[in-house]
Amino acid sequence: MSDQQMLIIVPTYNEVQNIHKLVEQIYTYVSRVNVDLLFIDDASPDGTADLVAELASLPLNRGSIHLLRRKAKLGLGSAYRSGFHWALKRGYFRVMEMDADLSHDAKYLPAMLSAAKQADVVVASRYCKGGGTKNWPWSRRLISRGGCLYAKWVLGVRLSDLTGGFNLWSRKALLAMDLGSMDSEGYVFQIELKYRALLAGLAIVEVPFIFVERCQGESKMSSGIFWEAVKKVWQLRVHARFLKNRLALSNSESAALRDKPSGRVSRPSSSY
């Protein structure tokens, strides 16, 4: 596998109407980059997984499409954790999170890839200068913006978009965050990922993007997801010192394993 190979992870539940367009948009904007797609489907009753499997069986000249079928609706956090582990096991150099509902416009991919040359993590931000949202009712804007400000205040960080799910991670970043100890499931999973990245001392940059409300399907937001986030950010703040030490220990152990002679000669990989 090329040192520049990237995987885009797309969790799905009842997104059959968006799959074709999403795949076409992605490969329109990253035609010169080695990009594979991994769809993680939580037993969608509308046939999303069957459509993805059909696309995965077709010959492509622009990357591979993969599918993980899960037996139930297990949550966003566990979907991404499964995808991250899948990517790390197969040696991907960069891994992106992307929604299936077309709210994360693929036209921003080139800017994110460019920014990744100087950072470990790239966050497509709705709330930095030049970012925004489109077709949202005032109530949704209030909840989203208020949630970001609340998380920033509790955690004491300056990142503008903690809850956003359009992010690009280097392999180094994913290995640094001790993914196995995470248990968040809803949108707070995105907050915890970014907070761990900050605690681990990773370089994070934000690029502006306009979030467009889905045209097809239904939003996955619920009151349970909202209250999980309200409580979890306080837990993260209270345990920040312990978490920072845990990440430092985990990274030291990983470095020791990497530095241990293996008896094999490996080709140096590219770095930022």
Task: Indicate whether 86 belongs to any domain.
Answer: yes
Global pTM? 0.87
pLDDT of res. 50: 98
Task: Indicate whether 268 belongs to any domain.
Answer: no
Task: Indicate whether 262 belongs to any domain.
Answer: no
pLDDT of res. 187: 80
Task: Indicate whether 271 belongs to any domain.
Answer: no
Task: Indicate whether 14 belongs to any domain.
Answer: yes
Task: Indicate whether 263 belongs to any domain.
Answer: no
Start-to-end CA span in the chain (Å)? 18
Dist CA 47 CA 41 (whole Å): 10
Other C-beta atoms within 10 Å of 47: how many? 14
Long-range contacts of 193-197, Cβ-Cβ distance < 8 Å, separation of 24 or more = 193/167, 194/121, 194/123, 194/157, 194/159, 194/162, 194/167, 195/155, 195/157, 195/162, 195/236, 196/243, 196/247, 197/120, 197/121, 197/173
pLDDT of res. 221: 53
> Domain of 17: which CATH number?
3.90.550.10
Task: Indicate whether 232 belongs to any domain.
Answer: yes
Task: Indicate whether 26 belongs to any domain.
Answer: yes
Tens place of pLDDT per residue across the chain (272 aa) = 555 699 999 999 999 999 999 999 999 999 777 899 999 999 999 999 999 999 999 887 778 999 999 999 999 999 999 999 999 999 999 999 999 999 999 999 999 999 999 999 999 999 999 999 998 888 888 888 888 999 999 999 999 999 999 999 999 999 999 999 998 887 889 999 999 999 999 999 999 999 998 655 555 555 566 667 778 888 898 888 888 888 888 777 656 544 444 333 333 333 32
pLDDT of res. 243: 87
pLDDT of res. 250: 76
Query: Which residue range is the domain that position 123 belongs to?
Result: 6-257
pLDDT of res. 33: 78
Phi, psi (5° rounding) for residue 39?
-95, 135
pLDDT of res. 267: 31
pLDDT of res. 119: 97
Q: How many domains does the chain divide into?
A: 1
pLDDT of res. 257: 46
